[in-house]
Structure 1
Amino acid sequence: MTLTDDTAPHSDRPFLIGVAGGSNSGKTTIAHRLAEMMGDDRLSLLKLDSYYNSRSEEPIEVRAAANYDHPDAFDWDLLNDHVAALSAGASVDVPIYDYTNHDRSDDFETVNSTKVIVVEGILVLWEPRLRERFDLKIFVDTPADLRIIRRLQRDVAERGRTPESILDQYLTTVRPSHERFIEPSKRYADVIVPEGGLNRPAIEVLLARVRELAG
């Protein structure tokens, strides 16, 4: 794990953390560990997956075939607006995504401004406007074989998909997008965590550092 010393909040606004990495790299595990450490009253979590573009006008066959690992799949304007609002002390209504229908649901989750705000997702270090907002940028670096195994386990168990469809999606969209967009964004990270949530020593060092920086 590489950690620089020039990661510190610049004002009394919330301390902003970006957690990026490949699909199923362990980003969510690390984000949740941060949330457990800080507590719900001190840390708010935004997930990039909540900001997939609405595709309600498209047939479900088209939605199912879309590349959800490409930057164009996300509503960056809304996410940036929400991060700006939270930084200013306001609350935001975050969309809830329906993975079964490949579209936003009609429901929202209200997220309040807190001392620490974590934005987690595959491309949060790729988007320049968002990246510039972060006080601490983390990249979770996990080998591809582990990531695809975790994806198979998750999508079969939680999303009712077949192994064949998962592997086809991985080869046609997930892997190419990772190599083109996600992996190159690692160069912007202040902290690189190998093995993701399996790297307990690195996570403990990271948690201690966040506690020190965020106060």
Structure 2
Amino acid sequence: MPDKLMRIRRADEAMRPIMIAIAGDSAAGKTTLTRGLVAALGRERSVSLCVDDYHRYDRTERRSLPFTPLHPLCNHVQIMEQHLQLLALGQPILKPVYDHRNGELTRPELIEPHPLVIVEGLLPLYTRLLRACFDVTVFLAPPESVRRDWKIARDTAKRGYTPQQVLAELRRRETEAEQFIRPQRRVADIVIAFGLTGASVLLRPTIRHPNFVGILADTGVRGVAVSLTRDPEGIPVDALRIDRDLRPSDGDAVAKAIWDELGAPGTLPECLGLLDDRRDEPLRLVQLLLLFHLLSKMGATPAA
């Protein structure tokens, strides 16, 4: 189906799901963002899936290939397009499953349609047709030094690699990351970079964002700022900065103002921003920003 026809069909579907894509390179923070959103929305009304499950080859088979999992040829892109079209129109799919713990392709999983669908992975914004399936698009772009450290920590703890193996794989993937992963940044509504000093967020005018200028003027908090700038493509955007050492009370003030602008009754979800046993304020406000977009498009609030 052409991407323009897909957009038209979605516009005509009164009961279609609200879809968000969270794209980015390996260990950029996609799963952490997604986990908080699902916890806030509730599994009755939301479902998440990872398009890395559409890998064409298992880990053993990939060792003899001239490309890495970042390359479209290493993924069933056409099946991914077909499945996301079905989900975007409220239809179930039988999704493949790639087990990252052992690198094997396992039993497919039935994904039923939900009012809110969160899609994360390496290539969810790779084609026009994929992009036409989404209401909100996000790209994660942490500094490469930070992402490298996150990937080493994750892959050694959870996937059985040594630090030397992780670094070698990063070097092997660099060309394909530049060719296939990073260009998705240009087509995202929101570009997020978590770093050592906090989070920076580019808000493109392709969707309506919270009124951060008014929110910050009203709350008078320190540690959060917004300015008008241009992104690397030369497009005027709002740049939101959230400091790592933002005081929880200031974070509460900004979060409440965003929640009030949404018109959401009840209390803010307590699950946002959780990292292990602590709350990270930049992560909390970024997750709340994405929650704002999902709920404003749905006209609903999270389950209690």
Structure 2 length normalisation: TM-score?
0.61
Q: Deviations over 1:186-215 (max 9, x none)?
A: 110111222177633232222222211122
1:38 counterpart residue number: 41
2:32 counterpart residue number: 29
Counting matched residue pairs gives 203
1:83 counterpart residue number: 84
Structure 1 length normalisation: TM-score?
0.84
2:64 partner SS: helix
Match of residue 292, structure 2, among 184, 189, 208 = 208
Distance in structure 2 (CA, Å) of the matches to 1:136 and 1:76: 20
Distance in structure 2 (CA, Å) of the matches to 1:162 and 1:14: 41
What is the alpha-carbon root mean square deviation over aligned residues?
A: 2.3
Q: Which amino acid aligns with 2:22?
A: V
Mean Cα deviation higher: 42-51 or 80-89 = 80-89
2:64 counterpart residue number: 62
Q: Which amino acid aligns with 1:97?
A: Y
Residues 193 and 60 (structure 1 numbering): CA distance in 2 closer, same or farther, change over 3 Å?
Answer: closer
Q: Deviations over 1:159-180 (max 9, x none)?
A: 111111111110011x222222
Residues 61 and 123 (structure 1 numbering): CA distance in 2 closer, same or farther, change over 3 Å?
Answer: closer
2:109 partner SS: strand
CA contact (8 A) 2:19 2:134 kept: yes
Q: CA deviation at 1:55?
A: 5.1
Q: Deviations over 1:69-90 (max 9, x none)?
A: 1122111121122222223333
Q: CA deviation at 1:68?
A: 0.9
CA contact (8 A) 1:60 1:102 kept: no
Q: CA deviation at 1:101?
A: 5.4
CA contact (8 A) 1:20 1:123 kept: yes
2:176 counterpart residue number: 177
Q: CA deviation at 1:59?
A: 4.9
Using CA pairs below 8 Å that are at least 6 residues apart, which structure has the higher relative contact order? 1
Q: Deviations over 1:27-57 (max 9, x none)?
A: 111122221122112112120111101459x
Q: CA deviation at 1:120?
A: 0.7
CA contact (8 A) 1:60 1:101 kept: no
1:202 partner SS: helix
Q: Percent of aligned positions with the same letter in both sequences?
A: 28
